[in-house]
Amino acid sequence: QTKTPSKVDNMFQNYSHSEIARDTATIKNSVIMHLTATFLRTPTSMDSGHAYLASAFSVRDRLLQRWNLTNEFHDRMKAKRVYYMSLEFLIGRTFDNALLALDLRKEYGQTLGEVGFRLEDIIDEERDAALGNGGLGRLAACYVDSMACSDYPGWGYGLRYKYGMFQQQILNGYQVEVPDCWLDSPNPWEFPRPDVTYPVKFYGHLVRDPNNDDRYIWESNVVYDAMAFDVPVPGYGTTNVGNIRLWSCKTNSLFDLNKFNSGDYGGATGGQVAAQILTDVLYPNDNTNDGKELRLRQEYLFCSATMQDIIARFKKTGRPMSELPELAAIQLNDTHPTLGVPELMRILLDEEEMSWDDAWEVTTRTFAFTNHTILPEAMEKWPVPMLDKILPRHMGIIYKINLYFLQAVEKRFPGDRDLLRRISIIEESNPQQVRMAFLACVGSHKVNGVAAIHSDIIKQTIFKDFVRIQGEDKFINKTNGVSPRRWMNECNPDMSDLITDVVGDRSWVNDLAKVKKLEERVADEDFRRRWWDAKQKNKQRLAEYILTTTGIQVNPNALFDVQVKRIHEYKRQLMNILSVIYRYHCLKQMTPEVRAKELHRVVIFAGKAASGYWVAKQVIKLINAVAEVVNADEEIGDVLKVVFIPDYSVTAAEYIIPASDISQHISTAGTEASGTSNMKFVLNGGIILGTVDGANIEIGEEIGEEQIFFFGCLAHEVEDFRHYLRFNQPKPDDALQTAFDMIQRNTFGDGAIFQPLIDSVVRGGDVYLLSVDFPSYIQAHNAVEDAYRNREEWITKSILSVARMSKFSSDRSIQEYAEEVWNIEPVRVTSCSMGI
Ligand code: OAK
């Protein structure tokens, strides 16, 4: 029920719109206030950890003002909201981001300086919120950032994992996983909402409503409570503040006092332990699905709490349930939140007592679905018996969705039994499996891929039949984008200042089309020199980071050649390190005089392997083994250095990406759905060495083919090559064979431990086509080297690239989603439009 304007409202208005205090005296007071009142410290006993916490809490106070206003305003306006449902949000740090958004960086720097701290050191105290694995999770974070900055009423929904992405240590060259206890110290960037708690049922049995065929009563005594934690998403250049609502399993109600009183202490807390585990850990799998029962329960807890919350908010508007799609759009970030579809159906049927047809209409008009991979090992499937046991009502609903869908298809394509078998949501395997991608597709009004080539591929492969049945228009493309706030303005201040000089102000941060103006300066000598110097400074900064994290000294004047991403066979880090081995071999063959003329190069790797992914872990070991030998080789010196930076994270990326000269995005064509770090590298003036895959293609189209180094076979050739290699031995060229020989001759320690990697190429059918692409890969490396030697040509490429990259702002992606999928409009928060 909406309150009428009152004195209280006016008080809130005055508070929310009072200008944020910017003078350092007020800022200092608020920092000291938190230091003393929140953390019971005094300025004399303040260390940098507490300086961070006190400053962060003080910034948060300023953010809250806007956050409250935003939510209140959207409620009152009854604005249509978009809900981005994602099991992953790879947020990284928030402090610096918030300072920039509020335009308070200088002031806090000064204040902290006065009490003896450097802002950079204080920023470094913050731990990453690493609630994601890689591309999909970081995309979700960029998208909520763009919604906030573009004034779209949008919320992220996710899970508050107690342990985020594991921390990676390297011991004896091997990856070791250490738990990420990121909540051990106070987290200024979350707000517990004990009043926003929903019960979530599991197991139990169903009782049919005798008066309503569509309705069941689900009786269960396993009920967990999901409690909300809200995370602010500061909008830059706007007062809008977005929200990510993360659910945590609340366990208090599960304490069994009777058991405790009878002395059964383990039994008394057993229920709590079982429940808490649900939101304890992020599954560390990127582009794979492991089908664990705990993961299914995690997904359901998330979906149920989210759907209950969305409906509760909608109900406050007083509008009938049939109008839900007018006020809510829900985006499924891959299939992980797909249980939201049967959960919404359950609520509409069993609680709202809607008819099946009406409920289905509301559901499909509300949901839209994004696919992020076509790797078969990533396709989510749940065994029917497991689903039936844990979520009996949902299994029933899924059967019925499938039945009606198949009946409609049978009507249009009578007698095509094979078609029905192919498209059925239930796979007729033993046991039967629910195909979540099909459920998401049938339950949504739009389905999209994440780059043009990927959206085409899914239409020709997994959704081919669905395109024929449901029409071309349902299947669209939304090429990914990245936030210019974090991935330019925040991580690359020197380049950003240069752009600001050219544009005239910093408005390009929210309107990236303005970077086009850089083209006008491409011939300006002074500008070109400053551009080069900014890159050099970033390389210097990375060299220091490398020294502290690995102990390896690298020369910042060398070419920085970077591949940082999750370690996965399809991403082909193996091909990269094999080319490094070959390079090492070539350098060793040269006379010292010839070698001295070679281009100096630092090859930088970083990335985590899923804990159960043995091959990927062996690749990490090989990289480290090669690094150890090459870096210790005095003959080679600075001509070649190899570095594996441990514990890749959002924060590490913010150091690494601005410092790259060349970055590698070398997946087998057709396997990388989009990639987003490729965009970040180019937006920071780096050049790509890549395959004709994912968003590399569109980047090439935008910036011009002179600015990018392509190599390798094309997506449409892959099947033929794979077919050939299934029946024929691959033929490694001399370079690749040389690399294999060096490993086998124990150049990098015991070669036997790497034999399985070699075998994956020579005996395992070379699924990722290393032997096919290796010759053109080496050629492309040579072309890069020639280009880098011509510094003037290189600077031109770098400037022109950035100037032409505006398409890859996540603001553009979000605008397209808003217009073509969600049907929502920006709502600018202003006091006059509050109507009071
Ligand atoms: C992770 C888990 C399951 C399915 C897909 C992923 C994933 O991270 N996919 C990645 O999504 C990114 C964002 O769309 C893309 O840029 C990557 O190419 C894709 O691998």
**pLDDT tens, 645-682?**
999 999 999 999 999 999 999 999 999 999 999 999 99
To the query of whether residue 591 is one of the catalytic residues in this protein, the response is no
Q: Taking all residues of the chain, what is their mean pLDDT, rounded to a whole number?
A: 95
Nearest CA to ligand 1 atom 8: 136
Q: How far apart (Å, rounded) are the C-alpha atoms in residues 702 and 698?
A: 6
Would you say residue 1 has pLDDT above 50? no
Nearest CA to ligand 1 atom 2: 287
Q: Is 480 in the pocket of ligand 1 (CB under 6 A)?
A: yes
Give the pairing type, strands 687-691 and 662-665. Answer: parallel
The band of 259, judged by pLDDT with boundaries at 50, 70 and 90, is confident
Map tokens 């609502």 to a residue. Answer: 245
Would you say residue 256 has pLDDT above 80? no
Would you say residue 297 has pLDDT above 70? yes
The band of 3, judged by pLDDT with boundaries at 50, 70 and 90, is very low
Q: How far apart (Å, rounded) are the C-alpha atoms in residues 776 and 787?
A: 16
To the query of whether residue 680 is one of the catalytic residues in this protein, the response is yes
Catalytic pick among 651, 676, 691, 747: 676
| Average pLDDT estimate for 69-74 | 92
Picking from 274, 326, 301, 333, the residue whose alpha carbon sits closest to that of residue 84 is: 333
176: which 2 tokens? 């070791």
Which of 252 and 593 is assigned the larger pLDDT? 593
From the alpha carbon of 135, which atom of ligand 1 is closest?
A: 12
| Average pLDDT estimate for 584-597 | 98
The band of 833, judged by pLDDT with boundaries at 50, 70 and 90, is very low
Q: Is 610 in the pocket of ligand 1 (CB under 6 A)?
A: no
417: which 2 tokens? 């039994």
Map tokens 């107690």 to a residue. Answer: 162
Nearest CA to ligand 1 atom 12: 135
Q: How far apart (Å, rounded) are the C-alpha atoms in residues 453 and 489?
A: 29
| Average pLDDT estimate for 386-407 | 98
What's the pLDDT at 255? Answer: 72
**pLDDT tens, 681-721?**
999 999 999 999 999 999 999 999 999 999 999 999 999 99
The band of 806, judged by pLDDT with boundaries at 50, 70 and 90, is very high
Answer for the pair 668, 718: CB distance below 8 angstroms, yes or no.
yes
Q: How far is the CA of 738 from the centre of ligand 1 (A)?
A: 34
Map tokens 């705990």 to a residue. Answer: 294
Q: Is 135 in the pocket of ligand 1 (CB under 6 A)?
A: yes
Q: Is 192 buried (19+), middle (13-18) or exposed (0-12) by CB count in 10 A?
A: middle
Would you say residue 254 has pLDDT above 90? no
**pLDDT tens, 461-510?**
999 999 999 999 999 999 999 999 999 999 999 999 999 999 999 999 99
What's the DSSP call for residue 507? G
To the query of whether residue 514 is one of the catalytic residues in this protein, the response is no
| Average pLDDT estimate for 795-811 | 98
The dihedral region occupied by 226, where left means phi > 0, alpha psi between -120 and 50, and beta the remainder, is: beta
Map tokens 């090429």 to a residue. Answer: 479
Give the pairing type, strands 191-202 and 433-435. Answer: unpaired
What's the DSSP call for residue 28? H
Nearest CA to ligand 1 atom 3: 287
The band of 13, judged by pLDDT with boundaries at 50, 70 and 90, is low
The band of 836, judged by pLDDT with boundaries at 50, 70 and 90, is very low
Q: How far is the CA of 424 from the centre of ligand 1 (A)?
A: 25
Would you say residue 274 has pLDDT above 90? no
135-168 b/e (C-beta count within 10 Å ≥ 16 → b): bbbbbbbbbbbbbbbbbbbbbbbbbbbbbbbbbb
Q: Is 670 in the pocket of ligand 1 (CB under 6 A)?
A: no
From the alpha carbon of 370, which atom of ligand 1 is closest?
A: 14
Q: Is 136 in the pocket of ligand 1 (CB under 6 A)?
A: yes
Would you say residue 11 has pLDDT above 80? no
To the query of whether residue 571 is one of the catalytic residues in this protein, the response is yes
Would you say residue 82 has pLDDT above 80? yes
Q: How far apart (Å, rounded) are the C-alpha atoms in residues 535 and 530?
A: 9
Q: Is 288 in the pocket of ligand 1 (CB under 6 A)?
A: no
Q: Domain 78-93+128-479 is classified in which CATH homologous superfamily?
A: Glycogen Phosphorylase B; (3.40.50.2000)
Answer for the pair 646, 549: CB distance below 8 angstroms, yes or no.
yes
| Average pLDDT estimate for 230-238 | 96
439-452 b/e (C-beta count within 10 Å ≥ 16 → b): bbbbbbbbbbbbbb
Map tokens 């390798």 to a residue. Answer: 712
Nearest CA to ligand 1 atom 16: 675
What's the pLDDT at 514? Answer: 98
- Torsion angle (degrees, nearest 10) of CA 209, 210, 212, 218: 10
Consecutive H or E run containing 501: helix 493-503
| Average pLDDT estimate for 497-525 | 98
Q: Is 481 in the pocket of ligand 1 (CB under 6 A)?
A: no
Answer for the pair 23, 8: CB distance below 8 angstroms, yes or no.
no
| Average pLDDT estimate for 66-78 | 91
Answer for the pair 199, 224: CB distance below 8 angstroms, yes or no.
yes
Q: Is 673 in the pocket of ligand 1 (CB under 6 A)?
A: yes
From the alpha carbon of 672, which atom of ligand 1 is closest?
A: 18
Q: Is 695 in the pocket of ligand 1 (CB under 6 A)?
A: no
Catalytic pick among 127, 535, 680, 797: 680
The dihedral of CA 346, 347, 350, 353: what is its sign? negative
The band of 21, judged by pLDDT with boundaries at 50, 70 and 90, is confident
Give the pairing type, strands 381-383 and 328-333. Answer: unpaired
Nearest CA to ligand 1 atom 7: 136
The band of 8, judged by pLDDT with boundaries at 50, 70 and 90, is low
Please, where are the H alpha helices in 103-177? 105-114, 119-123, 135-149
Q: How far is the CA of 90 from the centre of ligand 1 (A)?
A: 12
Would you say residue 9 has pLDDT above 80? no
Picking from 599, 529, 562, the residue whose alpha carbon sits closest to that of residue 798 is: 529
| Average pLDDT estimate for 722-736 | 97
Q: Is 373 in the pocket of ligand 1 (CB under 6 A)?
A: yes
Q: What are phi and psi of 802, to 5 degrees?
A: -60, -45
Q: How far apart (Å, rounded) are the C-alpha atoms in residues 418 and 796?
A: 56
| Average pLDDT estimate for 164-186 | 97
The band of 586, judged by pLDDT with boundaries at 50, 70 and 90, is very high
DSSP string, 659-701: G-SEEEE-PPTT--S--SHHHHHHHTT-EEEEES-HHHHHHHH
Q: How far apart (Å, rounded) are the C-alpha atoms in residues 228 and 720?
A: 50
- The edge-to-edge listing of strands for the beta sheet with 241-250 is 191-202, 222-234, 241-250, 154-159, 81-85, 328-333, 367-370, 447-449, 475-477
CB atoms under 10 Å from CB of 780, counted, come to 22
What's the pLDDT at 45? Answer: 87
For residue 544, give every residue at least 6 positions away whose Cβ sits within 8 Å of its Cβ, in sequence order, or none: none
Question: Three-state DSSP class for 829?
Answer: coil
Q: Is 45 buried (19+), middle (13-18) or exposed (0-12) by CB count in 10 A?
A: exposed
- The edge-to-edge listing of strands for the beta sheet with 381-383 is 381-383, 433-435, 426-427
| Average pLDDT estimate for 550-571 | 98
Would you say residue 776 has pLDDT above 80? yes
What's the pLDDT at 19? Answer: 63
Domain ranges for the chain, please list them.
78-93+128-479, 484-808
| Average pLDDT estimate for 419-430 | 98
Q: How far apart (Å, rounded) are the C-alpha atoms in residues 449 and 458?
A: 7
Q: Domain 484-808 is classified in which CATH homologous superfamily?
A: Glycogen Phosphorylase B; (3.40.50.2000)
Q: Which long-range contacts (CB under 8 A, 24 or more apart) does 733-738 make?
A: 733/771, 733/774, 733/775, 735/579, 735/582, 735/774, 735/775, 735/778, 736/578, 736/582, 736/761, 736/770, 736/771, 736/774, 738/581, 738/582, 738/585
Q: Is 457 in the pocket of ligand 1 (CB under 6 A)?
A: no
Cα 405 off chain centre by = 33
Would you say residue 251 has pLDDT above 80? no
Q: Is 550 in the pocket of ligand 1 (CB under 6 A)?
A: no
Q: How far is the CA of 561 from the centre of ligand 1 (A)?
A: 23
% of the chain exceeding 70 in pLDDT: 97
Consecutive H or E run containing 554: none
804: which 2 tokens? 């032409």
Q: Is 380 in the pocket of ligand 1 (CB under 6 A)?
A: no
What's the pLDDT at 12? Answer: 55
| Average pLDDT estimate for 391-413 | 98
Q: How far apart (Å, rounded) are the C-alpha atoms in residues 35 and 512?
A: 39
78-93+128-479 and 484-808: identical CATH topology? yes
Question: Looking at this protein, which amino acid is placed at residue 91?
Answer: I
Would you say residue 265 has pLDDT above 90? no
Answer for the pair 216, 397: CB distance below 8 angstroms, yes or no.
no
Q: Is 88 in the pocket of ligand 1 (CB under 6 A)?
A: no
Q: How far apart (Å, rounded) are the C-alpha atoms in residues 551 and 554?
A: 10
Q: What are phi and psi of 522, to 5 degrees?
A: -65, -25
Q: Is 796 buried (19+), middle (13-18) or exposed (0-12) by CB count in 10 A?
A: middle
Residue among 87, 287, 478 to mutate when testing ligand 1 (max atoms within 8 A of CB): 287
Q: Is 576 buried (19+), middle (13-18) or exposed (0-12) by CB count in 10 A?
A: buried
Catalytic pick among 34, 127, 514, 566: 566
Which of 16 and 627 is assigned the larger pLDDT? 627
Question: Three-state DSSP class for 448?
Answer: strand
Catalytic pick among 138, 297, 571, 812: 571
From the alpha carbon of 450, which atom of ligand 1 is closest?
A: 14
From the alpha carbon of 695, which atom of ligand 1 is closest?
A: 16
